[in-house]
Structure formats: C-alpha cells, structure tokens
Amino acid sequence: MHVNCDIGERGADHPVDRELMNHIALANIACGGHAGDRESVDAFLALAREKGIAVSAHLSYPDRENFGRTSMDISRKELLTSLDEQYKLMGAVEAVKFHGALYNDCWVDGKLASDLADWLKAKGIQTIITPDQSSLAVESAKRGITVMAEAFAERRYAYNPANQQLSLVSRKLDYASIHDLEEAVAHAQRIVEEGRVDGHIDDGKGHVEIRPLPLKADTICIHSDSPISLELAARLSASGDK
C-alpha cells in the first residue's frame, strides 16, 4: 500500500513526525501557509533524502491561526502570491498537495481548481495529489499534470446525493475521524483492495444513512496529528510494498 503523510506541521524535531518517516512512501511537507517554516522544511527534506522518500509541497491558504482549515475570502492574486512564497521554501519539487480548506475548496470549485491548475502548470509541477475526479483532478489532467488519486485512512466520507459527490465529513461533526486502529486499517484496505468506501448521508436531523460507493485511490493519506497515526502508518505500510 502506498502511504503518504502530512509532515512538518509540529516543528523540525517532533518525535512522532520523525518516526512516521520510517513508514511512508511520500511526505507532504508543510511550507508555512498553515504550519511549518524554513527549519522544519529543511529538516524533513534532509530526512526524506536520507530515507529515500518522495516529497511534495503541502500548500495552504495563508492561515496559521486556523491551521488552514477555514476557507478564506481573499483575492486570487493574494492566494497565488502566498502559494509562490510557500513553494519557494521547498525548492524545485515536482509534486504538490493542497491542505485543509484549500484542498476541500478545489475539490468542488471548478473556477478555483482551474486557476490552481494554471498555477501548477506554470510552476512545472508534474504531479498533483488530490481526490479522484475532484475538480482539481479534472483541470490538472487537462493540462497534462499527473493526478495521484488520494483517499484518507482515518477520515470518514460524506456523500451528497444531489450532486452525487463524495467529500470528507466535516470536522465539526463528531464522526468525522476514525480513532480506532482496526477500523482505520479496514477502511483503508477496503478503499485500496475493493475500490469502495462508506459514504455517509446526513439529513442534519440526527439520521445518517451509510451507502457503499466507489472510490479510487493511488495513495492513502494519514494525518500526522491523528492519535493513531504512527501505529496506522506502520500497519498500512507493512501490508504491501511502499
């Protein structure tokens, strides 16, 4: 199983983040938008080289206060200028993954996805890590950028029957994350081995219907700040070649 992890969001020397680097194939390194700085970027780039791990620039709305998990009403110029600054911290890496609210926004917002795909193309980015069939995946593919379809090991999925689209369950809901190790392993294995996931249809009145739905994933993400991240990464990476 190809496992990736969002790394460097807790400083250069966080023991869990550094140990996670022993169990992943791809490190998405925070570049200062939501977390991370020159020291942490350099530290995890060096560790990735030492361990032979691929890297991507993990870019965000410029919003450290909310950890990049809140959509921002900023001009496109301001956003792209911030992405330029973040990307410079990583040097000339050829893969990008957006973070948090920006990741979710370009999943569904076609205009934002188009603008970001133009920016990726101009930067010479070869690979974008994003959900399969997301707006960003579609726009990036049009520009010849390789799409690495991603799913999450310890996050549950919501399904909107109106537009027939999957998304991550909002973190505002108590069932957004999977905290049980065995459940998370089974969830990830079902996605990779069977190409399906449980979609949660929430009527907002306390009733949630669960429907099995197709989901393609080339890589499975683990959030480093998940309480089960280290055990989960070890289990998933051991289930097959990185």
Residue 242: predicted pLDDT:
40
Domain-located, residue 192: no
Tell me whether residue 179 is in a domain. Answer: no
Asked whether the beta carbons of 29 and 54 are under 8 A apart, the reply is no
SS3 assignment, position 182: helix
Whether residue 62 contacts residue 33, with contact meaning beta carbons closer than 8 Å, is answered with yes
Looking at the predicted structure, is the pLDDT value of residue 79 above 60?
yes
Residue-wise pLDDT for 3-27, tens only, equals 999 999 999 999 999 999 999 999 9
Q: Is residue 227 part of a domain?
A: yes
Whether the Cβ atoms of residue 160 and residue 169 lie closer than 8 Å to each other = no
Q: How many domains does the chain have?
A: 1
For residue 157, tell me if it sits in a domain.
no
Residue 96 lies in a domain: yes
pLDDT, average across residues 56-81? 97
Picking from 169, 181, 166, 167, the residue whose alpha carbon sits closest to that of residue 222 is: 181
Domain harbouring 107, CATH code = 3.20.20.370
pLDDT reading at 206 higher than 50: yes
Whether the per-residue pLDDT at 41 is higher than 70: the answer is: yes
Which of 62-66, 72-76, 155-159, 237-241 bottoms out in mean pLDDT, i.e. has the lowest? 237-241
Residue 160 has a pLDDT of 93
Q: With respect to residue 180, please indicate whether it lies within any of the assigned structural domains.
A: no
DSSP string, 143-163: TTPEEEEEEESSB-EEEETTT
Domain-located, residue 44: yes
Q: Tell whether the model's pLDDT for residue 197 goes beyond 60.
A: yes
Domain containing residue 148 = 3-152+217-238
Q: Does 196 fall in a domain?
A: no
**pLDDT (0 to 100) of residue 241:** 45
pLDDT for residue 240 is more than 90: no
Q: How confident is the model at residue 145 (pLDDT cuts 50, 70, 90)?
A: very high
pLDDT at 204: 84
